[in-house]
Amino acid sequence: MPFTTPSYIHKLPFAPPDSVPIHEFLFTDGDKYGRYPIADSRPPFTCGITGKSYSVAEAKNRIEWLSAALSSELGFEVNGGSEFDKVIGLFSVNTIDTMTVSWAAYRFSGVSSPISPSYSAAELARQLKAVKCKALFTCATLLPTALEAASAANLPKTHVYLLEIPDKALKGAIIPTDMKSVDQLIAEGKMLPPLPQLKWEQGQGARQTAFLCSSSGTSGLPKNVMISHKNVIANVLQIRTYESNYKSGKPESLLAVLPMSHSYSLIVTGHYGVYRGYNAVVLPGFDLVDVLEAVQKHSIETLWMVPPMIVALIKNSAITARYNLEHVKTTVVGASNLTKEVHEQFARQFPKCQLIQGYGLTETSVAVSMQNKADVMFGSCGHIFPGYEGRLISRDGKEVTELDTPGELLLRSPSVMLGYLDNEKATKETFTSDGWLRTGDLMEFRKSDDGHEHLFIIDRVKEMIKVRGLQISPTEVEALLSRHPCIVDVCVVPIPDDSAGELPLAFIVRSPAGKDEDERVLKQKIHNFVNGELSEYKRLAGGIEFLEALPKSASGKTKRGEMKERAKNLFETGRAKALPKVLQVYVYQSSDDEDSEDDE
């Protein structure tokens, strides 16, 4: 018997529509799709620094005009060709027009590919090639990286466009005058004839990819998750239905500081908030003072965050105390678990704000479960959402039907992805023969005092490392390190960290040439090598340890579990330290890193 939503949670009001694009679902007024009345809705997005915003009506016009301009510039036919021939990339910090670009792509039946702004030029170029990107939207601060990657991916500079960011976020970057901005494209599109209406077949929304979102895999390079229009619509309905048990219908303001390139923010702030008539207050990145000022100024009621942000609020209580945060009712934490200590500290500091945890995956578009204010159980990820079915499978392949018994979580839902782009092998490995998604997470269900089933994370079957909620594939970093001439074997594992949650630590076996080098000098060279190739959060901030050999199984595989235990021991004895330059990946640094000059 599959695990489902508790009976006190409402069921989905209707089946997620399978023949409508996302933007039509979000902006169709009236009872057809249950959207909050447009006349009573707040502006979908407001810049948390400048206060600039657009009404719902203005947002709809901007989508139409931007789509017309792009269709004209790029030679796209609205009802012709595959969606994969019309992929639009987004490589930028958060802006109030980030979602406008995605929805404009849907207007000509294209695809949006959100890309992490932390990517290096090499990573971005690889992504642009993988999705066959036809245009790229970026911002002034990321323009050098974007242009380098576009050149490597044979994407013309004329197809690279600029999103507007606040002057404060420019950090000295110069806005070029020879490149078109979103506003210029919209002005051009306003003068063009309206685009023909979309002519979708029955079920096209369930088959057609809307987003290509990068998901780190344990088998190597990141994979591109194909998320359909129906997938997104289904998850929006699931979140709305779940929250209807304890939230009033009145629109509120929510914080949009998590990167919209990440599926978590993409769905909850980029889509769910719009459907509910909410106002998402957008910030380009996490700056504590900017966050606090925006929360106070816009009377934000809900904060969507990751654990390091919670830690920052707690550790900087003297700064936080200067602001009026009384109107904040709910803080939702996803991406990784909070410790009991952090949870208790938050409760003491913000007694009127309820801290609730959730669980999700890019492959489920995104949210799977969340604590419900009616029944909170510490440490749980809450109840699974309506429309989901969950199963647990033990290590020996048997179905787990008992409570308090761990197994790998398998899921079925209308929000589950179509598969991985151009990777049939990975798609087959991720789904069972009868269509259940393997999450790779070891979970168990436990009953609360009220008798309702709660989902608990026990461990990750997949070996992902989570830094500030961002996922790292150890094999991706290992593959890079294996190219270094001084390295013959390597294993990258997580080491605990109070602020970031986890950090990547590399255990390295040196080549003969490497053994001739001074250890401290070689560590610095390896750090420099990694820093030149990978995003900031993927760097070896957990340190480097040299070993004579890595422990191997009978089949020749590295005993990763043993190495993880060794990393924990290093953490407990305080031996593993990061280099100063690498410490920049932390959201917040402690003041006791004077001895961080070497990894000894």
In tens, the pLDDT along 511-567 reads 889 999 999 999 999 999 999 999 999 999 999 999 999 987 544 568 888 899 999
Domain contains 145: yes
87 or 476, higher pLDDT: 87
Query: Could you tell me which residues come within 8 angstroms of residue 191 by beta carbon, excluding any fewer than 6 positions away?
Result: none
- Per-residue pLDDT at 460: 67
529 or 498, higher pLDDT: 529
- Per-residue pLDDT at 298: 97
Confidence class for position 100, pLDDT limits 50, 70, 90: very high
Say yes or no to pLDDT of 238 above 80. Answer: yes
- Per-residue pLDDT at 553: 59
**Whole-prediction pTM value?**
0.84
Say yes or no to pLDDT of 417 above 60. Answer: yes
Say yes or no to pLDDT of 343 above 90. Answer: no
Residue at which a domain ends, from 173, 199, 225: 199
What's the half-sphere exposure (Cβ side, CA atoms, 13 Å) at 46? 22
408 or 463, higher pLDDT: 408
343 or 238, higher pLDDT: 238
Domain contains 270: no
- Per-residue pLDDT at 312: 87
Count up the domains in the chain and report the number.
2
Please classify residue 168 by burial: count the beta carbons closer than 10 Å to its beta carbon, then call 0-12 exposed, 13-18 middle and 19+ buried.
exposed
- Per-residue pLDDT at 556: 58
- Per-residue pLDDT at 488: 87
Say yes or no to pLDDT of 588 above 70. Answer: no
Say yes or no to pLDDT of 267 above 90. Answer: yes
- Per-residue pLDDT at 341: 76
Beta bridge partners of 407: 443
- Per-residue pLDDT at 219: 45
- Per-residue pLDDT at 382: 95
How confident is the model over 354-379, as pLDDT tens digits? 999 999 999 999 999 999 888 889 88
Over residues 261-290, the mean pLDDT reads 96
Residue at which a domain ends, from 199, 222, 244: 199
Point out the least confidently predicted range of 255-264, 355-364, 455-464, 587-596: 587-596
Residue range of the domain that includes 576: 465-585
Over residues 487-492, the mean pLDDT reads 91
Domain contains 131: yes
- Per-residue pLDDT at 351: 92
Residue-wise burial string across 286-321, b where 16 or more C-beta atoms lie within 10 A, e elsewhere: bebebbbbbbbbbebbbbbbbbbbbbbbbbeeeebe
Quote the DSSP letter at residue 372: B
Domain contains 50: no
- CATH number of domain containing 117: 3.40.50.980
Point out the least confidently predicted range of 1-10, 69-78, 289-298: 1-10
Percentage of residues in the chain with pLDDT exceeding 70?
93
Over residues 212-226, the mean pLDDT reads 76
Domain contains 567: yes
> In degrees rounded to 5, what are phi and psi of residue 455?
-95, 130
Domain contains 450: no
Please classify residue 379 by burial: count the beta carbons closer than 10 Å to its beta carbon, then call 0-12 exposed, 13-18 middle and 19+ buried.
middle
Residue whose entry in the numeric block shows the structure tokens 């749980």: 380
Which amino acid is located at 398 in the chain?
Answer: K
Q: In whole angstroms, what is the distance from residue 258 CA to residue 155 CA? A: 28
Say yes or no to pLDDT of 395 above 90. Answer: no
Over residues 330-351, the mean pLDDT reads 84
Confidence class for position 283, pLDDT limits 50, 70, 90: very high
Confidence class for position 474, pLDDT limits 50, 70, 90: confident
- Per-residue pLDDT at 336: 64
- Per-residue pLDDT at 561: 83
Domain contains 291: no
- Per-residue pLDDT at 240: 96
Residue at which a domain ends, from 168, 199, 230: 199
Range among 94-108, 167-181, 244-258, 569-583 with highest mean pLDDT value: 94-108
- Per-residue pLDDT at 592: 31
Q: In whole angstroms, what is the distance from residue 490 CA to residue 52 CA? A: 49
Average per-residue pLDDT for the chain: 91
Domain contains 288: no
- CATH number of domain containing 476: 3.30.300.30
How confident is the model over 164-187, as pLDDT tens digits? 999 999 999 999 999 999 999 999
Say yes or no to pLDDT of 578 above 60. Answer: no
Query: Could you tell me which residues come within 8 angstroms of residue 463 by beta carbon, excluding any fewer than 6 positions away?
Result: 218, 474, 493, 560
